[in-house]
């Protein structure tokens, strides 16, 4: 009897194993693997982009070379007819926009000509767009942006400054996005004694820098 019982047990075990293997083959994966997969937490959906992120991405399209005549208010005779060359580059794996301007046809000679650099980036939590302006006056004003409802106008206003302000400092910068080949800028400089000078220009693209 023991032999018969043993044979029956072996037969039942064999049938159970065969049935389990058949089920695994039918469904294409082991039962344990299916269970483990079902127990894995679902991947969270990516967080929606902030308005600052969307606008910053729109600003990255400005990468390239631009030229524009300058209008200065109040009028400065020596600036009449001046034309600026603007270079914008996307750096740091897309996290920073570098903005440079200088007078057209002037060499890069820091002993004679202005050539300020501005770094534009997303602030903490990607909730703000900020900039630091490396001014020819020897200081570095820091500004934060207010974005218009349509996302086309980005107005940076003064927050704080590092460095001497003996010769004045930049106070405000406004970018207006028109299309891929056309944008406007307005820069407000505060002279000693709080006199403000506004330089505005309507820039046209002269060269594109390919961005992925």
pLDDT given for residue 190 in this prediction: 97
pLDDT given for residue 2 in this prediction: 44
The stretch 7-20 carries a mean pLDDT of: 44
**pLDDT averaged over every residue in the chain:** 83
Beta-carbon contacts of 161 under 8 Å, excluding residues fewer than 6 positions away, are 139, 140, 141, 142, 169
Q: Compare 64 and 31 and report the one with higher pLDDT.
A: 64
pLDDT in tens, 184-202: 999 999 999 899 999 999 9
Q: Which domains can be identified in the chain, with CATH numbers?
A: 2-39 (no CATH), 51-208 (2.40.128.20)
Alpha helices in the chain (DSSP H): 2-27, 31-39, 51-60
pLDDT in tens, 58-76: 999 999 999 999 999 997 7
């Amino acid at each position: 009897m023991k032999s018969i019982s043993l044979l029956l047990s072996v037969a039942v075990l064999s049938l159970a194993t065969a049935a389990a293997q058949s089920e695994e083959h039918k469904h294409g994966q082991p039962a344990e693997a299916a269970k483990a997969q079902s127990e894995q937490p679902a991947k969270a959906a990516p967080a929606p982009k902030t308005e600052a992120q969307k606008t910053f991405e729109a600003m990255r399209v400005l990468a390239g070379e631009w030229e524009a005549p300058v209008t200065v208010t109040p009028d400065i005779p020596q600036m009449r007819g001046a034309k600026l060359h603007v270079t914008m580059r996307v750096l740091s794996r897309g996290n920073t926009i570098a903005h440079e301007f200088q007078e057209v046809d002037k060499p890069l000679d820091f002993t004679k000509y202005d050539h300020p650099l501005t770094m534009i980036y997303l602030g903490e939590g990607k909730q703000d767009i900020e900039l630091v302006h490396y001014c020819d006056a020897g200081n570095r004003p820091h500004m934060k942006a207010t974005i218009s409802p349509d996302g086309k106008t980005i107005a940076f206003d003064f927050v704080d400054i590092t460095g001497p302000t003996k010769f004045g400092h930049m106070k405000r910068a406004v970018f207006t996005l028109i299309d891929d080949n056309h944008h406007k800028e307005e820069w407000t400089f505060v002279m000693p004694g709080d006199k403000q000078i506004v330089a505005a220009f309507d820039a046209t693209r002269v060269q594109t820098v390919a961005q992925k």
